[in-house]
Structure 1
Amino acid sequence: MKSIPYLLVACFLSLPVCAQEFYFPQRNAAWESKSPTAFKIDSRRIDEAVNFAQENEYSGSRDLRIAILKGFEREPFHEILGPTKKRGAPAGIILKNGYQIAKWGDTKRVDMTFSVTKSFLSTMAGLAFDNGLIADTDDKVVNYIWDGIFDGEHNSKITWEHLLQQNSDWSGELWGGKDWADRPPKEGKLDEWKFRKLNEPGTVMEYNDVRVNVLAYALTHVWRQPMPMVLKEHVMNKIGASTTWRWHGYDHAWTEIDGIQMKSVTGGGHSGAGLFISTEDMARFGLLFLNNGKWENEQIISKEWIKKAIEPSKPNINYGYMWWLNKKGARHWEGLSENIYYAAGFGGNFIVVDIENDLVVVTRWLEPNKIDEFMKFVNTALN
């Protein structure tokens, strides 16, 4: 046995040393690439996936102001309240163990990322948890935010977890946005929806940007800092992200903390604003999660938080703490690992984390209903 190399023995015994090391790109340095064949991945199949992404561009206008107004035209009172930006062509990156094995389009271009922002916002809650600013996600938010936004018989029951899982049914108005007017049901009268009976917090998931913005507001007060500053200091600087990303709020979304006016950001681009970011910076964020919150030798986000963030919620098996989960539910990608989780945004923006295969896939401006088909192309290349 002594004559057998230690690494071979470790692999046989499934010890951690056998795992392939991850590569972490340095700030402003060229991202190191490797051929897919270096990982026994079919290059031809990867090329097919890239071609598919390029050929299935999101059908909405490249002028995102127009695309937003068209996409949410059913909503009463909907209007553009924050910055927008014309988008580029399809772009993307596929990482294996951190190495770039495929890329397409302009991966340095900064574009709106819409609800992918929610997964960044969720991470701000995670950092608050890790730093003891939030003791428990089951705590009622009214015990932290007492300015009236969580007052009342219903809203006072809401916990941090309810907000993170989008099952709070918070009722009210913030920055001019009315909870009931956000994505109303396609059937029935709006007045009926406005005066509906509220669901008990934690029982029904409803995708709702007003309530996500309530979470951003609450976290801004807990941190006593604007969310972009928290993200920059605690995450983006540490993972070597560029200086090009921006996180916007609505033009009028100001709150005063410690005598200082601070912008409360949005968790998406539903009415403009949200995170504007490059494909490469999105890939860095995905790589951080793939490596369980650790970048090189520094644990940036706790493993405990990531485990909580990707645990299915009771009302929706496909949703955790603002991450979509590939469990066997309504949004399951058939034939792909149930351990895949991802951030998703309007217009076909995705950060996909494939734990079993050590992959991060970022694709932008892909027709949203084509994402599972695209991921099947990638998965076929692995086999």
Structure 2
Amino acid sequence: MKRLIYLSLILSLYIFGCQSSDDAPNTEPESNFPVTQDLYFPPSNSEEWESIPPTSLGYNDSQIQPLLDFLEEKNTKSFIMLHHGKIVLEAYMNGHQAGTPWYWASAGKTLSTTVAGIAQDQGFLNIETPVSNYLGTGWTSAPLEKENLITNKHLLTMTSGLDDSLGDDVSSENLQYLADAGNRWAYHNVYVKIQDVVAAATNQNWDTYFENQLKNKIGMTGSWIDLDNLNVYFSNTRSMARFGLMIYANGKWEDEQIVSESYLQQATNTSQNINLAYGYLWWLNGKTSFHLPQSQIEFPGELIPNAPADMYAGLGKNDQKIYVVPSEQLVIIRMGESADGSNFALSNFDNDLWEKINAVIQ
């Protein structure tokens, strides 16, 4: 049954992907939409958060309730839309309460990317250097000469070349050689080793460094919890929105640069030539082709055709979403259960949701 669902997803994505532009891909880093001086940041030590009426932005008020009804029908627990930092829509449904933690799933990979960038900015590590420089040799079961090819950047871009068919366990015996690093894109939980790299490089516990350099500075709540052999972040919805806002602001929070703009430009643009729709653990829209988890097939067209071409996203199991859309000055968060019964990070729900969002904002 799971195989049938997956094949159906592949086929449907192929069909709507083929409808997209055939323009040549731009794999060079693109500048984010300029952030003007009036960008709003909520206080870091308070739950206060300014809002703005959707009608003041020219949004279609008559389409807001259909959007919320669709979200509720699709097992959503919470939804937030920010425009230039201020709340335009915020809703909790299906028994979920504001302030209640929920898991980010793989959308939280973007936290690991960001913290790695902070550590590089501070001179603790270099993403271009081998992982073994920080973890020592033998962190995989690959031959030493192959293991030493794997850099931190390969972890961030899903191009380690390690076997992705051996499950979620990232102990060394399960990290077996399949291809030389950089030659194969495969969605693999080995990315979590970047947390160990940061801890080793900074000589600090991962949680402590994360809290001091990111979480506390932007007023996030939440914690890392071991779930199915992975370090998964849980927080309330507004904390996810705070993180999305900091990314939208090109790495700044108020007057402090949390992570360098140059690093984020690399992280949110095509990072390798195999999967054009992937940065440093960020999914990228607007490219001419894409790959999906657990597949080596290249699909033509955009990742989410209904979404703006400049959108990039943190996508997690059961439809956890962080959408950042510079051209529309939007950050959009969705937390909840699986919308359509698929547990993949990307599903048809993304495209359907953007159809509803577009009816509101356009």
Structure 1 position 51 matched with structure 2 position 69: yes
Relative to 1, partners in 2 of residues 1:305 and 1:107: Cα closer, same or farther, differing over 3 Å?
Answer: farther
Identity %: 27
Structure 1 position 216 matched with structure 2 position 203: no
1:154–1:170 contact (8 Å) kept in structure 2? no
Shift of 1:198: 1.6
**Cα deviation code 1:32-61 (max 9, x no counterpart):** 11111111222222332222111111xxxx
- SS at structure 1 position matched to 2:218: coil
1:158–1:170 contact (8 Å) kept in structure 2? no
Shift of 1:28: 2.0
What TM-score, normalized by structure 2, do the two folds share? 0.76
* Residue in 1 that maps onto 2:40: 23
1:95–1:102 contact (8 Å) kept in structure 2? yes
Structure 1 position 315 matched with structure 2 position 274: yes
Between Structure 1 and Structure 2, whose CA radius of gyration is higher? 1
Shift of 1:336: 2.6
* Residue in 1 that maps onto 2:257: 299
Identify which of 138, 145, 148 aligns with 2:138.
Answer: 148
Shift of 1:300: 0.8
Relative to 1, partners in 2 of residues 1:214 and 1:373: Cα closer, same or farther, differing over 3 Å?
Answer: same
* Residue in 2 that maps onto 1:166: 158
Distance 1:96 1:241 in 2: 19
* Residue in 2 that maps onto 1:288: 246
Identify which of 184, 190, 203 aligns with 2:183.
Answer: 203
Identify which of 327, 339, 350 aligns with 2:310.
Answer: 339
Shift of 1:138: 2.0
- SS at structure 2 position matched to 1:153: helix
Distance 1:142 1:357 in 2: 41
**Cα deviation code 1:216-239 (max 9, x no counterpart):** 222221122122211211112111
- SS at structure 2 position matched to 1:308: helix
Shift of 1:353: 0.4
Number of positions where the alignment pairs a residue of Structure 1 with one of Structure 2: 298
Relative to 1, partners in 2 of residues 1:196 and 1:293: Cα closer, same or farther, differing over 3 Å?
Answer: closer
Shift of 1:369: 3.0
* Residue in 2 that maps onto 1:73: none
Relative to 1, partners in 2 of residues 1:164 and 1:45: Cα closer, same or farther, differing over 3 Å?
Answer: same
2:310–2:327 contact (8 Å) kept in structure 1? yes
Shift of 1:183: 7.2
Shift of 1:19: 3.8
Identify which of 117, 120, 125 aligns with 2:108.
Answer: 117
Identify which of 57, 60, 76 aligns with 1:39.
Answer: 57
Distance 2:34 2:159 in 1: 41
Distance 1:275 1:248 in 2: 6
Unaligned runs of 5+ in 1: 1-15, 58-88, 172-178, 185-193, 250-268
Distance 2:34 2:130 in 1: 43
- SS at structure 1 position matched to 2:55: helix
* Residue in 2 that maps onto 1:139: 129
Partner amino acid, structure 1, of 2:317: F
* Residue in 2 that maps onto 1:326: 285
Shift of 1:111: 1.2
- SS at structure 1 position matched to 2:105: coil
